[in-house]
Structure 1
Amino acid sequence: MSELSKRTFLATPLLAAAGLGAARLAQAQACERPAPAAYKPPPASAGPFSAATDSLRSSVVPTWFRDAKLGIWSHWGPQAVPGQGDWYARFMYVPGHPHYDHHVKTYGHPSEVGYKDIIPRWKAERFEPEALMDRYVAAGAKYFVSMGVHHDNFDLWNSKHHRWNATKLGPMRDVVGDWARAARKRGLRFGVSEHLGASHNWWWTSHQCDQFWPKLGVAYDGAKPENFDLYHEPHDTPYLNRGGDWYTTNPKFHEIWYRRIVDLIDSHQPDLLYSDGGIPFGEVGRAAIAHLFNTSVRRNGEMQAVYNHKALGSGDFIREIGVQDVERGVLEGINPLPWQTDTSNGDWFFSEHDRYKTPAQVLTMLADIVSKNGNLLLNVVQRADGSLAPESDRLLTEMAAWMKVNAEAIHGTRPWKVYGEGPTQAASGAFQEDTAYTAQDIRFTTRGGALYALTLGEPKGSVKIALLHRGNAHEPRPVRRVELLGAGPLRFRQDAQALEVDMPERLPSRHVSALRVTFD
Structure 2
Amino acid sequence: MSERKYQPTWDSIVTHPTPKWFRDAKFGIYTHWGPYSVPAWGENTTWYSYAMYREADENNNPAYHHHLREYGHPSEHGYTEFLPEFTGEKFDADEWAEIFAGSGAKFAGPCAIHHDGYALWDSKVNHRNSMNFGPGRNFVAEQEKAFRAKGLKFATTFHHAFNWFWFPVWNKEMDCGKPENQGPGKFYPKFHEEHAMPDKEYHEWWLGQTKEIIDQYAPDLIWFDFGVFSLMEKYRKEFMSYYYSKEAEWNKEVIVTFKEIAVGQMLGNKSTQFTFAPGTGIMDYEKGKLNNLTDNMWITDTTIDSRSGWGYVRESGYKSPERLIHNLVDRVSKNGSLLLNVGPRPDGSIPEEAQYCLNEMGKWLE
TM-score, normalization by structure 1: 0.63
CA contact (8 A) 1:277 1:313 kept: no
AA aligned opposite 1:236? E
Distance in 1 separating the partners of 2:247 and 2:82 = 36
Alignment equivalent of 1:322, drawn from 253, 272, 281:
281
Name the residue aligned to 2:36.
79
Q: Describe the SS at the equivalent of 1:87.
A: helix
RMSD: 1.9
Q: How many residues align?
A: 341
Deviations, residues 476-495 of structure 1 (Å, cap 9, x unaligned): xxxxxxxxxxxxxxxxxxxx
Distance in 2 separating the partners of 1:87 and 1:45 = 41
Tell me whether 1:299 sits opposite 2:250 in the alignment.
yes
Tell me whether 1:152 sits opposite 2:116 in the alignment.
yes
> Once the 2 structures are TM-superposed, how far is the Cα of residue 268 of structure 1 from its aligned partner?
1.1
CA contact (8 A) 1:45 1:294 kept: no
Deviations, residues 4-50 of structure 1 (Å, cap 9, x unaligned): xxxxxxxxxxxxxxxxxxxxxxxxxxxxxxxxxxxxxxxx4842012
Alignment equivalent of 2:334, drawn from 372, 377, 396:
372
Name the residue aligned to 1:228.
182
Name the residue aligned to 2:269.
none
Tell me whether 1:263 sits opposite 2:194 in the alignment.
no
Name the residue aligned to 1:408.
none
CA pair 265-361 structure 1, distance change in 2 beyond 3 A: same
CA contact (8 A) 1:139 1:397 kept: yes
Distance in 2 separating the partners of 1:130 and 1:173 = 15
Alignment equivalent of 2:149, drawn from 185, 198, 202:
185
CA pair 93-332 structure 1, distance change in 2 beyond 3 A: same
Deviations, residues 408-438 of structure 1 (Å, cap 9, x unaligned): xxxxxxxxxxxxxxxxxxxxxxxxxxxxxxx
Q: What are the equivalent positions in structure 2 for 1:48-59 lying under 5 Å apart?
A: 48-59=5-16
> Once the 2 structures are TM-superposed, how far is the Cα of residue 277 of structure 1 from its aligned partner?
2.0
CA contact (8 A) 1:278 1:311 kept: no
Name the residue aligned to 1:117.
81
Distance in 2 separating the partners of 1:219 and 1:138 = 48
Distance in 2 separating the partners of 1:292 and 1:77 = 26
Kindly, what percent of the aligned residue pairs are identical? 33
Name the residue aligned to 1:340.
299
Distance in 2 separating the partners of 1:119 and 1:296 = 37
Name the residue aligned to 2:345.
383
The structure 1 segments of at least 4 consecutive aligned residues displaced by more than 6 Å after TM superposition are none
AA aligned opposite 1:133? A
CA pair 313-129 structure 1, distance change in 2 beyond 3 A: farther
CA contact (8 A) 2:121 2:141 kept: yes
> Once the 2 structures are TM-superposed, how far is the Cα of residue 278 of structure 1 from its aligned partner?
6.5
Distance in 1 separating the partners of 2:315 and 2:82 = 19
Any gaps of 5 or more consecutive residues in structure 2?
A: 264-273
Name the residue aligned to 1:290.
241
Q: Describe the SS at the equivalent of 1:320.
A: coil
Relative to structure 2, which stretch is displaced further, 161-170 or 370-379? Answer: 161-170
Distance in 2 separating the partners of 1:306 and 1:332 = 24
Distance in 2 separating the partners of 1:174 and 1:193 = 16
Distance in 1 separating the partners of 2:336 and 2:279 = 15
Q: Describe the SS at the equivalent of 2:242.
A: helix
Q: Describe the SS at the equivalent of 2:180.
A: helix
> Once the 2 structures are TM-superposed, how far is the Cα of residue 143 of structure 1 from its aligned partner?
0.3
Alignment equivalent of 1:195, drawn from 155, 159, 162:
159
Q: Describe the SS at the equivalent of 1:58.
A: coil
CA pair 73-139 structure 1, distance change in 2 beyond 3 A: same
Q: Describe the SS at the equivalent of 2:300.
A: strand
Tell me whether 1:89 sits opposite 2:43 in the alignment.
no
> Once the 2 structures are TM-superposed, how far is the Cα of residue 390 of structure 1 from its aligned partner?
3.1
Higher share of residues assigned strand = 1
TM-score, normalization by structure 2: 0.88
Name the residue aligned to 1:363.
325
CA contact (8 A) 1:279 1:286 kept: no
Distance in 2 separating the partners of 1:98 and 1:237 = 23
Distance in 2 separating the partners of 1:270 and 1:125 = 25
Distance in 2 separating the partners of 1:335 and 1:397 = 30
CA pair 175-285 structure 1, distance change in 2 beyond 3 A: same
Deviations, residues 291-341 of structure 1 (Å, cap 9, x unaligned): 1112232111x5x11111112264524221011111000123112111111
Tell me whether 1:276 sits opposite 2:225 in the alignment.
yes
Tell me whether 1:164 sits opposite 2:113 in the alignment.
no
Q: What are the equivalent positions in structure 2 for 1:459-478 lying under 5 Å apart?
A: none
Any gaps of 5 or more consecutive residues in structure 1?
A: 1-43, 209-217, 240-247, 405-520
CA contact (8 A) 1:157 1:166 kept: yes
Larger Rg: 1
Name the residue aligned to 2:267.
none
CA contact (8 A) 2:29 2:339 kept: yes
Distance in 2 separating the partners of 1:73 and 1:285 = 23
Deviations, residues 258-281 of structure 1 (Å, cap 9, x unaligned): 112211211211111111026542
User: Whose RCO is larger (CA < 8 A, sep 6+)?
Assistant: 2
CA contact (8 A) 2:97 2:147 kept: yes
Distance in 2 separating the partners of 1:385 and 1:252 = 34
Name the residue aligned to 2:20.
63
Q: Describe the SS at the equivalent of 1:118.
A: helix
Name the residue aligned to 1:21.
none
CA contact (8 A) 1:309 1:325 kept: yes
